[in-house]
Amino acid sequence: MSKTGCGFLAALAVLAAFSAAPISGDSLGSFLMPFDDDVIRYRSPEARDPVARVQARIDQGEVKLSFNPRHGYLEAVLRALNVPVPSQVLVFSKTSFQAAHISPQTPRALYFNDDVYVGWVQGGDVVEVASVDPEKGGIFYTLPQQNTSRPRFARRDDCLQCHAAPPTLGVPGFFLRSVYPGPDGTPLLQAGSFDTTDHSPINERWGGWYVSGVHGKQLHMGNVVAKDPANPEQLDRPAGANVTDLRKLLDVTPYLTPHSDIVALMVLEHQVRLHDLITRVNYETRIVENEQQVLAKQYGETFGAWSESARRRVNRPVEVLLQDMLFTGEALLTDPVKGTSNFQAEFEQRGPKDHLGRSLRQFDLRRRLFRYPCSFLIYSEAFDSLPKMAKERLYRRLWEVLTGRDQSPAFAALSSTDRKAIFEILLETKPGLPDYWKQVPSAPGSGS
């Protein structure tokens, strides 16, 4: 897939240096992490991602995938992987290996949940699937659209040509891109493109995508093509704005829903970046820990304390992950946003709630994406599988921010009300928090 692509408790001086200003994902470096290293073993056949688990159940006869002439295995795959149909978004730029089947008239449909991405194109030979292994990161598969009693997902490590690169922070992962599409959906790359995250301004988002929903005066790049290849930047953005019925732009009857919901797109942008950051922290920590163990063995010592340089190497990606989890770089909305499908209601229903009914999956959509700005992926298996040292560091830093002990500029956008609410929600809904979270001597966020 190409669109969803296609140490630790540091000294106070070090902590202050990391907390002083926002750190971007780009500052992690664009080099490719050594995922074939013996420490990571990405290409080993053992996998714990959702697709691998479903395939094991298919092989054992516990799960059967039904095939239909209209969509092949699509609906069955979505059911087996618990991917909701309302998550559908449509991309018409030719940015998939099935590009020959993709155009503004026949866009590619993408569906997702918290750890799985599914792609389908009209007339395509395969269903594309990518899922998150809690230790390896993104793993990519195709399922041939051929009716058989024992369908098999084929692992596609060749997808790493695009999906282990600077846009994915150098780890096997995911990314979204906004392009200037020509009339047939071909990206006009001479005009450039934008890697899209929740940091991106609205006017750089969704080029080559369909977008259904209202967003006021905020103009994006979706729903239109560049009619003059010599001047691709001259998109008719107003023509693509506030479209609530995609039937005016294309025949939507071949798709499972007639929507490409703007809220689903915004969640997707946040989620793919978080997945990459979690994987990057996982890889960095395991590699550094292994190096420390090797050094200790060379000197005939028992591995114990981390060196200061080793701590710094891991603290940095942990801090980037923390800041993105708390939406510190989020591009704020200037007008309310509203989708066209029931994606919002379905998404909110999935989250754990505290006794007041609050959840990290509740939306704001007036000035920002979520009402309580802390990523719902804190509940994910990938987050829970972070190495012990990294997770301890992350929990400590999160505690410092939410209790108001960290008042650095990087977290200035978090009000005392936000901090207190997030702290209380996590305390009640997130298993495995350290004991010190439950022993706060003063009100969380009181320092704000």
Q: How many CB atoms lie within 10 A of CB 193?
A: 17
- Tokens 């989020």 correspond to 330
Q: What single-letter DSSP state applies at residue 205?
A: S
**List of residues 6+ apart from 216 with CB closer than 8 A:** 242, 334, 335, 336, 337
The strands making up 116-120's β-sheet, listed across from edge to edge, are: 89-91, 108-112, 116-120, 126-133, 137-144, 154-155
Token code pair at residue 89? 């978004």
C-alpha distances out from residue 288 to 116, 251, 311, Å: 28, 52, 9
Which pLDDT belongs to residue 433?
Answer: 96
Helices (H), 171-219: none
* DSSP letters for 321-381: HHHHHTTTTPPPPSS--EESSSHHHHHHHTS---TTS--TT-B--SSSSBSS-S-GGGGSH
- Tokens 């709630």 correspond to 353
Which pLDDT belongs to residue 5?
Answer: 37
Mean pLDDT in runs of 10 for the chain (448 residues)?
Answer: 32 23 50 84 92 96 95 98 98 90 96 98 96 96 95 93 89 94 94 94 97 98 93 93 97 98 98 96 92 76 72 91 97 98 97 96 98 98 96 97 95 96 98 90 51
Q: Which amino acid is at 92?
A: F
Q: Cα separation of 207 and 443, whole Å? A: 45
Which pLDDT belongs to residue 31?
Answer: 67
- Tokens 């997945």 correspond to 275
- Length reported for the chain: 448
- Backbone φ and ψ for 119, nearest 5 degrees, come out as -120, 140
Which pLDDT belongs to residue 13?
Answer: 21
Cβ-based burial of 445 (10 A; exposed 0-12, middle 13-18, buried ≥19): buried
Which pLDDT belongs to residue 376?
Answer: 98
Q: Cα separation of 397 and 387, whole Å? A: 16
